[in-house]
């Protein structure tokens, strides 16, 4: 068993950490307050390779392995979770679906633009009436006169309004269940394709979440992504990697909660001593640090399995479940450690507390992760 990172993995973690320290954290707070997408900051991720993290070098990407990618998501999310989720949806979902299942022509057309950051990517599976039960999706794609005509909508889509390219999952063959679902790649500007107004959210205010809307959207036949009828199967494979990255995002959020708490505990005094000297608070920090380390190990193990080409769905679900619940717990304790200061926007733990909640919901809720884990253990799959 080897717990050492390679030189490349160490390097990518360092670059992400330095970027997060210099460009994220307090620098993103004003965007969060204004519910504004930080275009100028996200633009800087492209030249550093973070927007083509998993894209092979021949298509302009950084060609990272999953361990390196998970480390970079963790570090960027430690700096700011809005930037973390922006990068996650772009890489894990949109770009990865094209890289994994696109034709050679589609890869050459879309990947270099996504990897450079010329355009951001979105990925639409969830619908107003189909979230956890994704196979119940209703968005319809019909082949007419050599074009696919899409009708319906997608809900809660990250990068929907700021993105230029979207992978969309739609029903092509009603009556065939999950085998009647296909994927498409759409560009902004296609007739009948638009994004809704960004939602006002509990947290992640500096990230973009909106509807994708299809009103007789005309999509060229060549934009079918992967084989007809395989869209749902491919989407589930995309989610496997996506869950690992969402786990990494949760680890980053949890680590940030601890880091800010440690700083505060050393500064704040009560009863003639610093908070750091209170046994009760020491215990909280010790427990949290231990749980974050477990979450990190689960995440890196899932990433390692993915890198080895081994089945990772079970490990990814465990990592995502544990890391997201750890993030929420760490954020809650961090607010507690800050007392009243933790409840006001001036201190970063207030934002971290709001941001953490998404990790228990997005990319499959905790209940769905438990379902995935239990089905494997009980051999129900």
Ligand X SMILES: Cc1cc2nc3c(=O)[nH]c(=O)nc-3n(C[C@H](O)[C@H](O)[C@H](O)COP(=O)(O)OP(=O)(O)OC[C@H]3O[C@@H](n4cnc5c(N)ncnc54)[C@H](O)[C@@H]3O)c2cc1C
State which residue, 120 or 285, has the beta carbon closest to ligand X.
120
Separation between Cα atoms, residue 195 and residue 12, nearest integer Å: 33
Q: Which residues pair with 122 in a beta bridge?
A: 166
State which residue, 237 or 336, has the beta carbon closest to ligand X.
237
Point out the residue whose Cβ comes nearest to ligand X.
Answer: 131
Contact footprint for ligand X (CB under 6 A): 89, 93, 123-126, 131-132, 156-158, 201, 204, 209, 358, 361-365, 367-368, 371
Separation between Cα atoms, residue 10 and residue 13, nearest integer Å: 5
Separation between Cα atoms, residue 131 and residue 201, nearest integer Å: 17
Separation between Cα atoms, residue 234 and residue 239, nearest integer Å: 9
Provide, rounded to whole angstroms, the least separation between the CB of residue 267 and ligand X: 33
Q: How many residues does the chain have?
A: 381
State which residue, 132 or 267, has the beta carbon closest to ligand X.
132
Q: List b or e across 346-370, with b for residues whose CB sees 16 or more CB atoms inside 10 angstroms.
A: ebbbbbbbbbbbbbbbbbbbbebbe
Provide, rounded to whole angstroms, the least separation between the CB of residue 101 and ligand X: 16
Provide, rounded to whole angstroms, the least separation between the CB of residue 158 and ligand X: 4
Provide, rounded to whole angstroms, the least separation between the CB of residue 155 and ligand X: 7
State which residue, 158 or 324, has the beta carbon closest to ligand X.
158
3-state secondary structure 183-221: EEEEECCCCCEEECCCCCCCCCCCCCEEEEEEEEEEEEH
State which residue, 203 or 348, has the beta carbon closest to ligand X.
203
Helix ranges (H only) for the chain are: 7-23, 29-34, 39-43, 66-79, 81-88, 96-101, 104-116, 231-267, 279-307, 313-338, 348-356, 366-377
Write down the catalytic residue from 240, 325, 363, 367.
Answer: 363
Which DSSP helix (H) or strand (E) runs through 339?
none
Provide, rounded to whole angstroms, the least separation between the CB of residue 376 and ligand X: 15
Separation between Cα atoms, residue 54 and residue 279, nearest integer Å: 44
Provide, rounded to whole angstroms, the least separation between the CB of residue 235 and ligand X: 9
State which residue, 125 or 288, has the beta carbon closest to ligand X.
125
The dihedral of CA 136, 140, 146, 147: what is its sign? negative
Phi, psi at 91, each rounded to 5° = -85, -55
Provide, rounded to whole angstroms, the least separation between the CB of residue 323 and ligand X: 16
Active site residue 147: no
Q: Read off the tokens for 134.
A: 């994704």
Q: Read off the tokens for 15.
A: 């670059």
State which residue, 135 or 222, has the beta carbon closest to ligand X.
135
Catalytic residues, by residue number, are 363
């Amino acid at each position: 068993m080897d717990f050492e990172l390679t030189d490349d993995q160490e390097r990518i973690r360092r670059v992400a950490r330095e970027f997060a320290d210099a460009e994220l954290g307090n620098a993103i707070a004003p965007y969060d307050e204004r519910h504004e997408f930080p275009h100028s900051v996200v633009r800087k991720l492209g030249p550093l390779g973070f927007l083509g993290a998993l894209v092979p070098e021949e298509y302009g990407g950084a060609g990272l392995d999953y361990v390196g990618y998970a480390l970079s998501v963790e570090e960027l999310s430690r700096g700011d979770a809005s930037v973390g989720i922006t990068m996650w949806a772009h890489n894990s979902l949109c770009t990865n679906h094209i890289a994994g299942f696109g034709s050679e022509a589609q890869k050459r057309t879309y990947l270099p633009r996504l990897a450079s950051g010329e355009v951001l990517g979105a990925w639409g599976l969830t619908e107003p009436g189909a979230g956890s039960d994704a196979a119940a999706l209703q968005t319809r794609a019909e082949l007419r006169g050599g074009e696919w005509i899409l009708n319906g909508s997608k809900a809660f889509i990250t990068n929907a309004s700021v993105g230029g390219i979207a992978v969309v999952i739609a029903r092509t063959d009603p009556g065939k269940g999950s085998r009647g679902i296909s994927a498409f790649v759409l560009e902004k500007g296609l007739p009948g394709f638009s994004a809704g107004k960004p939602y006002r959210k509990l947290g992640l205010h500096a990230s973009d979440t909106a509807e994708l809307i299809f009103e007789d959207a005309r999509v060229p036949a060549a934009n079918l992504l992967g084989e007809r009828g395989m869209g749902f199967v491919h989407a589930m494979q995309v989610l496997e990697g996506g869950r690992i990255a969402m786990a990494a995002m949760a680890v980053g959020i949890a680590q940030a909660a601890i880091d800010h708490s440690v700083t505060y505990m050393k500064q704040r005094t009560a009863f003639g001593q610093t908070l750091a000297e209170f046994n009760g608070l020491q215990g909280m920090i010790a427990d949290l640090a231990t749980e974050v380390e477990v979450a990190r190990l689960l995440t890196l193990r899932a990433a390692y399995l993915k890198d080895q080409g081994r089945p990772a769905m079970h490990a990814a679900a465990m990592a995502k479940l544990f890391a997201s619940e750890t993030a929420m717990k760490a954020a809650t304790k961090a607010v507690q450690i800050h007392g009243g200061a933790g409840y006001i926007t001036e201190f970063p733990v207030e934002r971290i507390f709001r941001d953490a909640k998404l990790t228990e919901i997005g990319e499959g809720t905790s209940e769905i992760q438990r379902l995935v884990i239990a089905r494997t253990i009980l051999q129900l799959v």
